[in-house]
Amino acid sequence: MRWPVENRLESRLDLPRRLRRARKAEWARKLMRENRLTVEDLIWPIFITDGEGVTEAISTMPGVFRYSVDQAVEQAREAAGLGIPALALFPNTPSNLRDETGSEALNPENLICRGIRAIKAAVPDIGIITDVALDPYTSHGHDGLVAEGCILNDETVAVLVRQALLQAEAGADIIAPSDMMDGRVGAIREALDAAGFADVSIMAYAAKYASAFYGPFRDAVGSSGTLKGDKKTYQMDPANAAEALREVELDLAEGADYVMVKPGMPYLDIITRVKDHFAVPTFAYQVSGEYAMIMAAAERGMIDGEKAMLETLLAFKRAGCDGILTYFAPRVARLLAGKA
């Protein structure tokens, strides 16, 4: 026997599907919401500069400052109060201390080591992530040692290992190699373990692309004027996605605890693939150029900066991120806490 047509499955599927029903009010949208941005998702990158009592504006990053160590401590205190879990420290090395080999990276009294010690002493509960790479210390602005125009891989790794050990000795919680040399994660892991730093973690800048979006950062650390050439022989080609999975696979095999994709928003597809494929803690860096774009458009009245900020950060969560390095961190944290 045949069912009357209105009872048949296919006719029920023909009923209008009204997805808008679930969007009819804010309470209804809340029930449906798949992802949320919280203060616990945020890692705040801050720039440290020489001197005392210094808070210095960066013209290409409105609202971002370089802080002397004492001021960085105050910022860390505020960040901890807002519930931001971790800071990522970057130095603006005085230009007279930059040289061919980036030797200041190996000075236990450099800005980063002093910054780590001061923040750890005053604000012990905030996580400290440190950058391992030579570009803030070299006179040529490259992340590694250069010979005849080539970036030397293994020789650079040997220096990065020493840099990482110094940072661990100063009290860093997470070592974050951003240099893209092959084999550096394994070498750093082995050295940390051998030196008794088994609890110090590694967050690998695993899929880091040779990007146009790093410009303002290079102003912030003072390497934009000095950089000779580009970084295409070590950072990834923006055309590639499968290669990002190989980079992540290697870094995990070498001992990375967390992996990062960088830049962020133009590479959301990479974040999703990494998270789907490896199911490991996955982070994105919303880099300086992404920050500057939003700020510049907002300043000119072209977009609502605050809404754009929140939308981009939520998009990272939707893509699969466990956390985001973002210069917006304190602003978002204040907003989420109802303090802005």
Which residues are annotated as catalytic? 208, 262
What binding mask, one character per residue, do residues 81-120 give for ligand PBG by CB under 6 A, x or -? ----------------------------------------
Which residue from 58, 69, 261, 287 is in contact with ligand PBG, where contact means CB under 6 A?
287
Stretch (H or E) spanning 258: strand 258-262
Interface with ligand PBG in residues 167-186 (CB under 6 A)? 178-179
Bridge-based pairing state of the strands 65-68 and 55-57: antiparallel
Find all residues with CB under 8 Å of 264, minimum gap 6, and list them. 271, 284, 285, 286, 287, 290, 312, 316, 324
Q: Which residue, chain included where needed, has tokens 């992404």? A: 290
Cα-based distances in Å from 202 to 77, 106, 247, 303: 24, 19, 15, 37
**H or E stretch at 142:** none
Please identify, among the stretches 49-57, 214-222, 253-261, 302-310, the one whose residues bind ligand PBG according to the rule CB under 6 A: 214-222
CB of 23 to ligand PBG, least distance (A): 35
Which residues touch 207 (CB under 8 Å, ≥6 apart)?
236, 244, 247, 248, 259, 260, 261, 262, 267, 270, 274
- Specify the residue, 197 or 327, whose C-beta has the smaller distance to ligand PBG: 327
Q: Which stretch binds ligand PBG (CB under 6 A): 108-116, 127-135, 145-153, 245-253?
A: 127-135
Closer to ligand PBG by CB, 73 or 133: give it. 133
**Residue 321: which of 31, 28, 29, 38 has the closest Cα?**
38
Q: Which lies closer to ligand PBG via its Cβ, residue 121 or residue 150?
A: 150
> By CB under 6 A, is residue 219 in contact with ligand PBG?
no
The reply on whether position 135 binds ligand PBG by CB under 6 A is yes
Residue 126 lies near ligand PBG (rule: CB under 6 A): no
* Residue 312 found at the interface with ligand PBG (CB under 6 A): no
Q: Is the dihedral of CA 121, 66, 136, 76 positive or negative?
A: positive
Residue 47 in contact with ligand PBG, rule: CB under 6 A: no
Which two three-digit tokens encode residue 193?
A: 């373990």
The two tokens of residue 269 are 């597809």
How far is residue 38's CA from residue 279's CA, in Å, rounded to a whole number?
21
The least distance separating ligand PBG from the CB of residue 296, rounded to whole angstroms, comes to: 15
Instruction: Find the shortest distance in angstroms from Cβ 179 to ligand PBG.
Output: 6
217 binds ligand PBG (CB under 6 A): yes
Residue 326 interacting with ligand PBG (CB under 6 A): no
**Burial degree of 266 (CB within 10 A; 0-12, 13-18, 19+):** middle
- Return the residue of 41, 104, 143, 219 that touches ligand PBG, per CB under 6 A: 143
Residues contacting ligand PBG: total by CB under 6 A: 12
Q: How far apart are alpha carbons 184 and 132 in whole angstroms?
A: 10
Please identify, among the stretches 50-58, 93-101, 130-138, 253-261, the one whose residues bind ligand PBG according to the rule CB under 6 A. Answer: 130-138
The residue ranges that bind ligand PBG (CB under 6 A) are 131, 133, 135, 143, 178-179, 214, 217-218, 231, 287-288
